Chain A
Amino acid sequence: MSKTDNQQHPISTYLKIWALLFVLSTASYMVDYLDVHGYLRWSLIIIFMLLKAGLIVAVFMHMMWERLALMYAIMIPPILLLTFIGIAALEADNTFFTRSVYFLKNLM
């Protein structure tokens, strides 16, 4: 068996990431607290979410120190979900459309 490495990193790295996650969480809460609306709200939510998720996976779960073979095996399959999201969004629009037509017909 090949040698396995322990994930040993300085405590200060974790503390910095921890503080950063606090800042990002506060920022995403502020989006709601300050009542930001529309595209600005949605893009801010997604940016803060992705930054937080990235920091957790990369540092806390040590992904950035793993070998590329593991990184790809874990990170690539979830990309498939984008396709799934696209299909589900089309489906949802269609359902909304048929519901609206049906309810309109009932009103007339």
Chain B
Amino acid sequence: MLTTAASTPPLHSPVLEEGVKGFISDWSADQQSFKKVTWGKAMMWIFLVSDTFIFSIFLISYMTVRMSATDPWPHPSEVFALTIAGKNIPLVLIALMTFILISSSGTMAMAVNFGYQKNRKVTFILLIITAFLGASFVGMQAFEWTKLIMEEGVRPWGNPLGAAQFGSVFFMITGFHGTHVSIGVIFLIIVAIKVYRGDLDNERPGFFTGRKGKYEIVEILGLYWHFVDLVWVFIFAFFYLW
């Protein structure tokens, strides 16, 4: 190394360029394009892009189906209304679910922060609150499905309210999102246990991958959880409000 150091430039420039110049030099790098991101985080991002495409395809097919339906589309505002204390409030359950999911995103973001501060106790509590909010979201969704199936008679192949496609789109999209939330809750509980046991402080190898525990996994989990919230923003806008 001492002999060649004078003639050959270092493999990694110690100073990373910013802006477009940095973008070009990062992408033309011979080893690694994502300079300040570990592969775990980059892989989660790439998974999320693929998941974006899956949800987009669902939403685009929903658009196609809704535009081409000749029967009137059921009015979501009325379908998802609830009667509370004798008053009929439109879409109230869905609004509540939206606030719950946003709150869980807030507690998740704070869990990531306290994780990097190596504050085990607060990180654990925040993760558990996030998991609890996620679970209550799924619970409310189960209530919503039950109401729609039992009381309104909505089926994937038809319903008494209007266009038959309403049911199939509804069960497909909210079902797929609910599955994501449920998997997220399991993921949250697993990471919460790791935090509680001190696995991330002691770099204890994981049970599946055998990789050393690091607080970065809280951030990676956070990316997934925020994505679930992000998808809900789009479902709320296009399916429930449109």
Using CB atoms and an 8 Å cutoff, list the residues of chain A in contact with chain B. 1-9, 11, 14-15, 17-18, 21-22, 25, 28-29, 31-33, 35, 41-42, 45-46, 48-49, 52-53, 56-57, 59-62, 66-70, 72-74, 77-78, 81, 84-85, 88-89, 91-93, 95-96, 99-100, 103
Contact = CB atoms under 8 A, between A and B. Distances in A.
Contacts of A35: 77
Interface of B: 12, 16, 18-20, 22-23, 26-27, 32-38, 42, 45-46, 48-49, 52-53, 56-57, 60-61, 63-70, 77, 90-91, 95, 98-99, 102-103, 105-106, 108-110, 112-113, 116-117, 215-216, 219, 222-223, 226-227, 229-230, 233-234, 236-237, 240-242
A7 B116 contact: yes
B70 A68 contact: no
Given A32-B241, A68-B20, A96-B69, 20 more contacts: A1-B32, A2-B35, A4-B36, A7-B116, A25-B98, A28-B237, A56-B230, A61-B223, A61-B226, A66-B36, A68-B22, A68-B26, A69-B35, A70-B42, A70-B45, A84-B60, A88-B63, A88-B64, A89-B64, A95-B68
Nearest to A99: B70
Contacts of A100: 70
B67 A77 contact: no
Given A14-B106, A22-B102, A49-B233, A32 B22 contact: no
A67 B12 CA distance: 16
Contacts of B33: 69, 73
Chain A: interface secondary structure? Answer: helix
A73 B42 CA distance: 10
B242 A42 contact: yes
**Which of B53, B90, B109 has most A Cβ within 10 Å?**
B109
Contacts of B49: 74, 77-78
Contacts of A60: 105, 108-109, 222, 226, 229
A57 B37 contact: no
Closest 7 CB pairs between A and B? A69-B26, A92-B67, A18-B106, A95-B68, A49-B237, A68-B23, A92-B64
Contacts of B70: 96, 99-100, 103
Contacts of B52: 78
A77 B54 CA distance: 13
Task: Indicate the member of A48, A49, A60 with the most B CB atoms within 10 Å.
Answer: A60
Contacts of A70: 34, 37, 42, 45
Contacts of B65: 92
A73 B52 CA distance: 13
B220 to A, nearest CB: 11
A22 B229 CA distance: 13
B63 A53 contact: no
B23 A69 contact: yes
A28 B16 CA distance: 41
Given A21-B102, A32-B91, A68-B22, A93 B56 contact: no
